[in-house]
């Protein structure tokens, strides 16, 4: 299968994330988002990354760049985990079937991040060491083994069980991660007092300081943001292109309204982040084929508040408000704060309109995509009712065909990528099961 061109889903030509965000903030957002999936995985990625970091430092053979990349990989190793059932399994010391999140995490790193070369380590991070030669050779074995061992040690830590280094513990660990990795872990524990650092919480500050030294480019930051957006969107085929469609429409509307480059950057970044809170929304609600009950709708609407929790303190204030206010209406009928027109900026209004258009034109589990006439009718109704900004809505209606032509290019690319994800995931699951 030919390689996927990541550049094909980079929207627009502006310098994204110029001054709005740095790498440390992006990592904090990604990790805080993962924390929202389930209370049992709060800080799990950080602890695993810290243990892997200490193992690499004890080893002494890894370059600074490799250590940074592997720590990022370890921190985000569960990025493919969604369902309560799979997290139930992950939190058992003797995990049985955790292939799905390993496969999806592998594919996200392979196609949606700057760390594609390490993606195999995520695929194998719940596979016992004796099976590694059946797949690939090279340094990925060692990385997968370190993540696997650190992951299992954190399960013990969360369960309140003291770490022990005895013959039986070592035998079981060596089956999972190999003798060399186990010896390395206990050497790191002896040198760096890992368990003590986990207990007193000082590991978090040490890890954050390490991440602050990572060298990054603007495109690298954007790839991590996209990766998180797509872990949510790719939960099912009906939402796969929602974020990129919203971002594309937002940018086109911003240009039509003569927003300057700095504001366009904030609009685009806010659009990418606007649904990040859906990582905590149960998949069965996101993919429900019928109408949501009142309780399900309440849970669905909580994604905005969760977005706020994830982004607070880690984004430019304007970007935060753009993402957080995408369901507000000018007449005060929106949510979560029932804001009114005078409280909403033009950038916030733009993303609100773009999000609605994306939802209307997109196929969902409960509906087909609406045709142009129906979309325009709804936009006019919302404008005339004082819910949507007239300036933004009029531009959307006047330039509808051109705006959708641009976004459809990205939708086609995302559809290709989603189909590739689906095909590869089926193939990989069969390989792992065999």
Name residue 364's beta-bridge partners. Answer: 367
Please, are residues 331 and 306 in contact by the beta-carbon 8 Å criterion? no
- Residue 273 pLDDT > 70: yes
Confidence of residue 112 (pLDDT cuts 50, 70, 90): confident
Q: What is the mean pLDDT of residues 3-12?
A: 60
**159, part of any domain:** yes
Q: Give the pLDDT confidence of 68-92 residue by residue, as tens digits.
A: 999 999 999 988 876 556 666 665 5
Q: Is the same domain home to 286 and 407?
A: yes
Half-sphere exposure of 124 (CA within 13 A, CB side): 25
Q: Is the same domain home to 182 and 315?
A: no
Half-sphere exposure of 412 (CA within 13 A, CB side): 7
> Which of 96-100, 144-148, 221-225, 238-242 ranks highest by mean pLDDT?
144-148
- Residue 10 pLDDT > 70: no
Q: What is the mean pLDDT of residues 159-178?
A: 79
Whole-number Å distance between alpha carbons of 230 and 85: 21
Confidence of residue 431 (pLDDT cuts 50, 70, 90): confident
Q: Which domain holds residue 201?
A: 23-215
Mean per-residue pLDDT over the chain, rounded: 87
pTM of the predicted model as reported, rounded to 2 decimal places: 0.89
258 compared with 176, residue with greater pLDDT: 258
21 compared with 121, residue with greater pLDDT: 121
Q: Is the same domain home to 172 and 208?
A: yes
Name the percent of the chain lying above pLDDT 70: 90
**10, part of any domain:** no
Q: Give the pLDDT confidence of 328-363 residue by residue, as tens digits.
A: 999 999 999 999 999 999 999 999 999 999 999 998
5 compared with 107, residue with greater pLDDT: 107
Burial letters 167-178, b for 16+ CB under 10 A, else e: eeebeebbebbb
Q: Is the same domain home to 151 and 74?
A: yes
Burial letters 371-401, b for 16+ CB under 10 A, else e: eeeebbeebeebbeeebbbebbbebbeebbe
- Residue 44 pLDDT > 60: yes
Which of 199, 215, 231 lies at the terminal end of a domain, its last residue? Answer: 215
Whole-number Å distance between alpha carbons of 343 and 341: 5
Environment class of 107 (CB within 10 Å of its CB; exposed 0-12, middle 13-18, buried 19+): buried
Helix axes 400-433, 242-256, angle to 10 degrees: 160
Q: For residue 245, give every residue at least 6 positions away whose Cβ sits within 8 Å of its Cβ, in sequence order, or none.
A: 357, 358, 361, 362, 407, 410, 411
**350, part of any domain:** yes
> Which of 44-53, 133-142, 151-160 ranks highest by mean pLDDT?
44-53
Q: What is the pLDDT of residue 14?
A: 43
Q: Is the same domain home to 98 and 54?
A: yes
**358, part of any domain:** yes
Q: Is the same domain home to 241 and 339?
A: yes
- Residue 119 pLDDT > 70: yes
Q: Give the pLDDT confidence of 308-320 residue by residue, as tens digits.
A: 999 999 999 999 9
Q: What is the pLDDT of residue 361?
A: 95
Structure tokens at 92: 């058992």
Q: What is the mean pLDDT of residues 237-247?
A: 88
Name the percent of the chain lying above pLDDT 90: 56
- Residue 244 pLDDT > 60: yes
Whole-number Å distance between alpha carbons of 54 and 65: 15
**407, part of any domain:** yes
Angle at 253 between CA 273 and CA 332, to 5 degrees: 70
Q: What is the domain-level CATH number for residue 373? A: 1.10.3210.10
Please, are residues 357 and 385 in contact by the beta-carbon 8 Å criterion? no
Q: What is the mean pLDDT of residues 397-404?
A: 97
Q: What is the mean pLDDT of residues 263-287?
A: 91
Residues in the chain: 434
Q: Is the same domain home to 334 and 255?
A: yes
Q: What is the pLDDT of residue 13?
A: 43
Which of 215, 245, 263 lies at the terminal end of a domain, its last residue? Answer: 215
Q: What is the pLDDT of residue 354?
A: 98
**Where are any strands of DSSP class E within 78-194?**
none
Q: How many domains does the chain have?
A: 2
Q: Is the same domain home to 270 and 171?
A: no
Q: Is the same domain home to 229 and 195?
A: no
**4, part of any domain:** no
Q: What is the pLDDT of residue 267?
A: 96
Q: Is the same domain home to 360 and 406?
A: yes
Structure tokens at 62: 């890894």
Angle at 153 between CA 147 and CA 158, to 5 degrees: 120
Q: Is the same domain home to 113 and 64?
A: yes
176 compared with 375, residue with greater pLDDT: 375
Range name among 66-80, 130-144, 261-275 with the lowest pLDDT average = 130-144
Nearest to 274 by CA among 342, 379, 362, 348: 348
Q: Give the pLDDT confidence of 203-233 residue by residue, as tens digits.
A: 999 999 999 999 888 788 888 888 877 877 8
Q: What is the pLDDT of residue 236?
A: 75
Q: What is the domain-level CATH number for residue 160? A: 1.10.3210
Which of 193, 215, 237 lies at the terminal end of a domain, its last residue? Answer: 215
Nearest to 240 by CA among 32, 78, 30, 413: 413
**129, part of any domain:** yes
**12, part of any domain:** no
Q: Is the same domain home to 275 and 177?
A: no
């Amino acid at each position: 299968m030919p390689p996927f061109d990541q550049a094909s889903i980079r929207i627009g030509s502006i310098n994204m994330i110029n001054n709005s965000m740095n790498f440390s903030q992006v990592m904090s957002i990604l990790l805080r988002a993962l924390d929202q999936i389930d209370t049992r995985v709060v800080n799990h990625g950080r602890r695993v990354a810290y243990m892997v970091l200490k193992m690499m430092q004890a080893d002494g053979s890894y370059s600074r760049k490799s250590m940074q990349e592997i720590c990022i990989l370890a921190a985000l190793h569960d990025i493919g985990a969604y369902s309560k059932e799979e997290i139930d399994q992950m939190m058992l010391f003797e995990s049985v079937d955790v292939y799905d999140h390993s496969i999806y995490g592998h594919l996200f790193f392979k196609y949606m991040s700057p760390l594609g070369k390490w993606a195999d380590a995520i695929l194998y991070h719940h596979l016992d060491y004796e099976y590694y030669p059946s797949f690939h050779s090279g340094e990925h074995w060692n990385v997968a083994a370190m993540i696997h061992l650190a992951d299992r040690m954190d399960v013990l830590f969360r369960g309140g069980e003291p770490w022990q280094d005895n013959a039986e513990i070592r035998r079981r660990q060596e089956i999972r991660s190999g003798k060399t990795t186990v010896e390395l872990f206990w050497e790191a524990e002896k040198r760096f007092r890992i368990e003590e650092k986990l207990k007193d919480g000082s590991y978090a500050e040490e890890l954050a300081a390490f991440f602050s030294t990572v060298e990054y480019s603007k495109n690298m930051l954007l790839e991590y943001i996209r990766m998180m957006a797509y872990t949510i969107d790719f939960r099912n085929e009906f939402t796969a292109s929602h974020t990129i469609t919203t971002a594309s429409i937002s940018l086109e509307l911003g240009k039509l309204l003569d927003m300057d480059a700095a504001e366009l950057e904030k609009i685009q970044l806010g659009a990418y982040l606007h649904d990040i809170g859906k990582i905590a929304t149960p998949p069965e609600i996101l993919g429900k084929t019928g109408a949501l009950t009142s309780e399900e709708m309440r849970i669905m609407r909580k994604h905005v508040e969760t977005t706020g929790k994830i982004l607070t303190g880690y984004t430019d204030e304007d970007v935060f408000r753009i993402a957080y206010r995408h369901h507000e209406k000018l007449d005060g009928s929106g949510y979560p704060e029932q804001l009114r027109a005078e409280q909403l900026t033009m950038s916030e209004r733009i993303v609100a309109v773009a999000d609605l258009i994306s939802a209307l034109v997109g196929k969902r589990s409960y509906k087909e995509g609406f045709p142009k006439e129906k979309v325009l009718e709804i936009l006019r109704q919302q404008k005339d009712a004082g819910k949507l900004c007239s300036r933004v809505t009029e531009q959307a209606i006047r330039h509808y065909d051109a705006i959708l032509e641009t976004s459809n290019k990205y939708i086609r690319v995302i559809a290709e990528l989603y189909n590739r994800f689906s095909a590869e995931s089926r193939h990989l699951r069969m390989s792992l099961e065999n």
